[in-house]
């Protein structure tokens, strides 16, 4: 029976592609493995899979009695609900250490880099395993996606180096152009239900016993979101009423290199506590009551938002 390789809930390109790459690597290392996903494939990921002729991984089923490898997360909140009924073989990740524990020894490949695929590329190299051309193309796109084409503060030299080598393996000449194509697909939000947009790239955290949700939409031009802001506000109100202390939405403009922050919280001063005076700037919102505040340089949930939020909740 193959081991199951799976990324986090509300999957992104890195979670899907890391599952595919890790399953290939593990299979070639003598552990037959198969990639799965924990939810709907987002449009930009579908574009990436299509570009390199790869089928979408199947939706994950029950884990009882199976062997599992996790990618792109190590916390229970992001993992399959029945993870405890499986044997966890190992983890490939690039996030802060989560709260998953095991009763058997495991491998754990983790690095503070911009993308899980950068970690997996390093493990392919470590074992001298060749990366197939189409998987190299997928991994390149995952790095471009997670690092916002190297603009995110999470980007490291290792990510740039890995992307360059993967582009060569995949035969992609202009990979920044490929990244822009992918983000243009990701930016097409018209006609998509607001709740789906809100939960597309969404993570719930437990902070000092409170449920705190942080969502992010990454687009090539924030003006593309003008038509959906009011509906997003409404979706946030509904999501908050489902038992959350706080719900934050980052509308990230990858070209302007900053994010508009929308926040609903039981703590009316939360945004100011987290982001300081910048979060009270009302000049940005004049004329549109649904607009939030513009935070220059805020690009990464992982680096710019979650640590500061946790510090406030402590």
- List contacts with Mg ion (CB under 5 A): 12, 14-15, 72, 116, 146
* Closest alpha carbon to 3 in 30, 29, 34: 34
Report, in Å, the least distance between residue 155 CB and Mg ion. Answer: 12
Q: Which is nearer to Mg ion, 130 or 176 (CB)?
A: 176
Distance CA 5, CA 16 (A): 10
Q: Which is nearer to Mg ion, 51 or 116 (CB)?
A: 116
* Closest alpha carbon to 298 in 268, 254, 263: 254
Q: Strands 33-38, 87-93: parallel, antiparallel or unpaired by DSSP? A: unpaired
Report, in Å, the least distance between residue 112 CB and Mg ion. Answer: 12
Q: Which is nearer to Mg ion, 257 or 267 (CB)?
A: 257
Count of beta carbons in the 10 Å neighbourhood of residue 289 = 9
Report, in Å, the least distance between residue 269 CB and Mg ion. Answer: 27
Report, in Å, the least distance between residue 250 CB and Mg ion. Answer: 10
Q: Which is nearer to Mg ion, 303 or 308 (CB)?
A: 303
Report, in Å, the least distance between residue 15 CB and Mg ion. Answer: 5
Residue with the CB atom nearest Mg ion in the bound state = 14
Report, in Å, the least distance between residue 169 CB and Mg ion. Answer: 20
Structure tokens at 197: 């947009």
Q: Which is nearer to Mg ion, 147 or 265 (CB)?
A: 147
Residues 6+ apart with CB under 8 A from 187: 218, 219, 220, 221, 224
Q: Which is nearer to Mg ion, 139 or 290 (CB)?
A: 139
Terminal Cα-to-Cα distance of the chain (whole angstroms): 44
**CA quadruple 178, 181, 187, 191: dihedral positive or negative?**
negative
Quote the distance between the C-alpha of residue 180 and its chain's center.
17
């Amino acid at each position: 029976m193959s081991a199951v390789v799976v990324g986090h809930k509300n999957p992104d390109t890195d979670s899907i592609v890391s599952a595919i790459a890790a399953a290939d690597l593990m299979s070639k290392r003598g552990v037959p493995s198969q990639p799965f996903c924990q939810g709907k494939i987002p449009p930009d990921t579908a574009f990436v899979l299509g570009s390199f002729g790869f089928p979408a991984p199947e939706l994950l089923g029950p884990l009882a009695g199976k062997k599992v490898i996790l990618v792109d997360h190590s916390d229970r909140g992001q993992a399959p609900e029945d993870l405890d009924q499986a044997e966890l073989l190992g983890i490939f990740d690039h996030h802060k250490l989560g709260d998953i524990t095991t009763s058997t020894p495991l491998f754990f490949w983790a690095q503070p880099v911009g993308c899980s695929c950068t970690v997996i590329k390093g493990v392919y190299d470590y074992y001298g395993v060749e990366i197939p051309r189409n998987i190299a193309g997928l991994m390149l796109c995952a790095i471009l996606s997670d690092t916002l084409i190297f603009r995110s503060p999470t980007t490291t030299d290792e990510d740039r180096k890995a992307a360059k080598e993967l582009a060569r393996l995949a035969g992609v000449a202009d990979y920044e152009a490929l990244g822009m194509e992918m983000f243009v697909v990701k930016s097409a939000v018209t006609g998509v239900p607001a709740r789906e947009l809100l939960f597309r790239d969404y993570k719930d955290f437990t902070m000092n016993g409170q449920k705190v949700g942080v969502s992010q939409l990454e687009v090539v031009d924030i003006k593309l979101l003008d038509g959906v802001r009011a509906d997003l506000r409404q979706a946030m109100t509904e999501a908050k009423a489902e038992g959350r202390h706080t719900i934050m939405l980052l509308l990230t403009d990858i070209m302007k290199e900053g994010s508009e922050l929308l926040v609903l919280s039981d703590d009316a001063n939360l945004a100011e506590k987290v982001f300081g005076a910048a979060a009270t700037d009302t000049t940005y919102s004049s004329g549109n009551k649904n607009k939030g505040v513009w935070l220059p340089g805020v690009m990464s949930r992982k680096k710019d938002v979650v640590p500061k939020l946790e510090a406030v909740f402590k």
